[in-house]
Amino acid sequence: MIDIRNLNVHLGEFRLRDVSLSIDPGEFFVLMGPTGAGKTVLLEAVAGLVPVLGGNIFIGGRDVTRMLPEERGIGIMYQDYALFPHLRIVRNIKYGLRYHRLDKETAQKRFGRLVDDLGIGHLLKRYPETLSGGELQRVALARALMVEPGIILLDEPLSALDQNFREEIRLLLKKINRSSHITFFMVTHDFSEALTLATKAAIMCEGAIAQTGSIRDLFSKPASTFVASFVGMKNVFSAQFNGNQACVDSLTIEVPQPHHHSTGYIAVRPEDIVISLQRFESSIRNAFPGMICGMIDQGFLYEVHIRVRAVVFKSLVTKGAAIDLALDIGAGVHISFKASAVHVF
Amino acid sequence: MGRKGSFFWVSFSCGIMVLTFILLPLVEMLTAPSGAMLRETLQDRNVIRSIWLSIYTAASAAGISFLVGTPLAYLLARSQFRGKHLIESVIDLPIVIPHPVVGIAILGVAGKNHWLGQYLHEFGIRIMGSTTGIITVLTFVGMPFYINALKAGFEAISPRLENVSRSLGASMWSTFVRVTFPLAWRSVLVGLIMCCARSISEFGAVVVVAYHPMIAPVLIYERYEGYGLQYSQPVAVWLVLVCLSLFLALRLLALPQKKVS
């Protein structure tokens, strides 16, 4: 559906460098990356809203690189909703109709269905400034869907919403994606959003794609230290490999399969590291005694830092578990993690 | 609220001084002529003609600024390009140039010795001593105020609204007409008021280009020079009253309206 090949964009000091991506029809694709990575610029380049210096964008096999935004059939939704403040909600939703050949009856039917599905019938006569965040987002979605675009670009659509509305809109997006043939291309910072909504994803860093693939692979098999740390793999170590073993400083860690290079990296997700007071008698191959050297409060969880010889591992434990185990800085504990939890790259 | 400190009293005193400085001469001027003198002045056809000419030429300057200044203001608000600051400085030039110099500069290109002047002459367009000349001068001095006010207005409108409009199928023209302009119309009105206000008060440049036909400030000056303060004051009062009424009406239009929720 969307095929981006070697896209280059220069906007002042910022550069998009040789970006290539492929998104299948009907897919929910998520683009992640730190602030300033170029996610919104890429989205706007696809929509035709920023000038492209090099490369091509194909939509449904058609080269749209030099096409005007209004000719591309792509809807865009921003995190601030961008509803037209001078128009009532009904006119906001119907705004795009005059540019699409649609008979009155079909338009009215579609309008009625969208208003019902999104539960915004009571808002039609109001102005955007009087609506809540969740209502604004529903209206923005209705406005984009009213012209039935082949693709909808979502620029952090949920980030300005509170938790309740966020969950509601997330489910709504999922439902629309499943029930329509619309391809969704969404930028987000939120991993839970990405995991809930996306089938495939990409991570951007400094104007380039760092990794692309299935959402599961991105989180469990990062290809670089940047991606590993970005997706929350807090335990990333450079290692020397010898068969199924990785040597990190003087620590020998069992890995799932031999690495094809003698040196590289290993990464373990903090939630895969189990803390216990006694050593587990189990089949787990990676078990080490250590000492807690730090505890960071993360709301419902603690990020516990455990020093094992010269290596510091990070694990996540619930506050309840931390109290039960009487975890505190200086306490001696054991950590264990499966060889299969170790990602090698 | 606690006891007011010295900072408040210094600010307050300065405020009173500034207001007195502005209002005292104006109030004095407005109250100096008697009712009979004001009525008599209003029956003078020359006075009516000059006030009308002032309003007409200032409105024409604002109209021209609207037509050619609006696209330029939009371009400056939305685009980043090499030389943008230079263009902005050029637009601001008429604000800083001494007024008689503006008149001399315009006569320099509108005279028969200049190719543009010859060209205009061939088409029967006369700048020196004509209403066209007055409008040219007033556009020159008033347009920067219109462009700057509107540029700020356009900058305050999120480009994302335009992006969404285009993603819904609207062309740039359609987006401008349906989204950008309706959201910027108050800035347009403020810009027009600023342009008109600047134009209607112009004297130095106009007097060089066109002493006749006489706009109100030139008439006031002529009466002051020829007959003294008392004879010029009633004309000045009528000019101020007419202008204030017009600007007040425009300002009221430009005030934000409460939307029905």
Tens digit of each residue's pLDDT (9 = 90 or more) over A296-312: 999 889 999 999 998 99
Residue B65 Cα, gap to closest chain A Cα (Å):
25
Indicate the residue of B161, B166, B259 with minimum beta-carbon distance to A127: B259
Which amino acid, residue A297? D
**Percent of the residues in chain B that have a pLDDT greater than 90, as a whole number:** 83
What CATH number has the domain bearing residue A174? Answer: 3.40.50.300
CA of A95 vs chain B CAs: smallest distance (Å): 8
- When scoring B164, B172, B176, B177 by the number of chain A Cβ atoms within 10 A, the one with the most, hence best to mutate, is B164
The answer to whether position A43 is within a domain reads yes
Give tens-digit pLDDT for A131-188. 998 899 899 999 999 999 999 999 998 887 777 778 888 888 888 888 888 999 999 9
Structural contact between residues A96 and A87, judged by C-beta atoms closer than 8 angstroms:
no
Interface test with B, best of A67, A99, A156 (most B CBs within 10 A): A99
Do A215 and A279 lie in one domain? The reply is no
Q: Are A195 and A160 in the same domain?
A: yes
A88 plus A197 within the same structural domain: yes
> Mutation test of the interface with chain A: which of B84, B162, B163, B167, choosing the one with the most A Cβ atoms within 10 A?
B167
Instruction: List the single residue in B with minimal CA-CA distance to A87.
Output: B179
Percent of chain A with pLDDT over 90: 68
User: Given an 8 Å threshold on Cβ–Cβ distance, is A99 in contact with B174?
Assistant: yes
In a domain, A329, yes or no: yes
Residue A124 lies in a domain: yes
pLDDT at B258: 53
Q: CA B57 from chain center: how many Å?
A: 11
Rounded to a whole number of angstroms, the distance from the CA of A79 to the nearest CA of chain B is: 10
Give the model's pLDDT for residue B200. Answer: 92
* Same structural domain, A332 and A292: yes
pLDDT at A29: 95
Cα four-point dihedral sign B220, B222, B225, B231: negative
- Of the partner residues A12, A49, A76, the one whose CB lies closest to the CB of residue B80: A12
Q: Measure A70 CA to nearest chain B CA, in Å.
A: 4
Q: Render pLDDT for B159-179 as a digit per residue (tens, 0 to 9).
A: 999 999 999 999 999 999 999
Query: What is the spatial distance between Cα A200 and Cα A189, in angstroms, rounded to a whole number?
Result: 15
CB atoms within 10 A of CB A328: 10
Same domain, A242 and A216: no
**Distance of alpha carbon A191 from alpha carbon B116, whole angstroms:** 66
What is the maximum span of chain B, computed from C-alpha positions, in angstroms? 74
pLDDT of residue A12: 81
In a domain, residue A149? The reply is yes
Q: What is the mean pLDDT of residues A230-252?
A: 90
Measured torsion, CA atoms of residues A320, A326, A329, A330, in degrees rounded to the nearest 10:
-160
Interchain proximity B169–A99, CB inside 8 Å = yes
Last residue of a domain, one of A220, A251, A271: A220
ipTM score: 0.82
Handedness of CA A312, A313, A318, A321 (dihedral sign): negative
Same domain, A72 and A202: yes
Considering only CB atoms, A85 lies closest to which of B165, B170, B183, namely: B183
Does A207 share its domain with A185? yes
Q: Tell whether A96 and A176 lie within a shared domain.
A: yes
Decide if A247 contacts A240 (C-beta within 8 A). yes
List, as ranges, residues 64-83 from B with C-beta within 8 Å of A: 80
A112 and A258 share one domain: no
- Chain A CA closest to residue B163: A49
Distance from the Cα of B215 to chain A's closest Cα (Å) equals: 40
Q: What is the pLDDT of residue B261?
A: 39
Domain interval for residue A68: 2-220
- Residue pair A19/A4 in contact by the 8 Å Cβ criterion: yes
Locate B70 and state its tokens.
Answer: 């609006």
Tell me whether residue A225 is in a domain. no
Are residues A238 and A216 part of one domain?
no
Would the CB atoms of B160 and A82 count as touching at under 8 Å? yes
Name the domain boundary from A198, A220, A242. Answer: A220
Q: Write the residue in B80, B170, B261 that is nearest to A70 by C-beta.
A: B170
Closest partner CB to B167 (pick from A75, A84, A130): A75
**Below-50 pLDDT ranges, chain B:** 260-261
- Please tell me if residue B182 touches chain A, with a CB cutoff of 8 Å: yes
Chain A positions in Cβ-Cβ contact with residue B82 (cut-off 8 Å)? none
Rounded to the nearest angstrom, the minimum Cα separation between B160 and chain A is 6
Q: Which residues pair with A336 in a beta bridge?
A: A274, A287
Mean pLDDT of A89-118: 93
Based on the domain organization, do A199 and A250 belong to the same domain? no
A227 assigned to some structural domain: no
| Closest residue in A to B256 (Cα–Cα) | A86
Q: What is the DSSP letter of B215?
A: P
What are A214-233's pLDDT values in tens digits?
Answer: 988 888 888 899 999 898 88
Average pLDDT for A191-217 = 91
**Of the candidates A89, A58, A76, A72, the residue with the CA atom closest to the CA atom of residue A145:** A76
Domains located in chain B, CATH noted: 57-216 (1.10.3720.10)
Domain of residue A238, CATH code? 2.40.50.100
Does A78 sit within 8 Å of B164, measured CB to CB?
yes
Rounded CA-CA distance A15/A38 in Å is 8
Domain-terminating residue out of A199, A220, A241: A220
Q: Average pLDDT in the A259-284 region? A: 87
Closest partner residue to A82 (CB to CB) among B80, B161, B259 is B161
Q: Is residue A226 part of a domain?
A: no
pLDDT for A280 equals 74
Given a contact cutoff of 8 angstroms between Cβ atoms, the answer to whether B205 and B99 are in contact is yes
Provide the pLDDT for residue A268: 92
Residues 6+ apart with CB under 8 A from B210: B127, B128, B129, B130, B131, B133, B134, B137
Give how many domains chain A has, as a whole number.
2
Would you call B179 and A84 a contact, using CB atoms and an 8 Å cutoff? Answer: yes
Q: What's residue A166's pLDDT?
A: 82
Residues in chain A with CB shorter than 8 Å from the CB of B158 are 80, 82
Indicate whether A160 and A274 sit together in one domain.
Answer: no
Question: Distance from A143 to chain B by nearest Cα, in Å?
Answer: 8
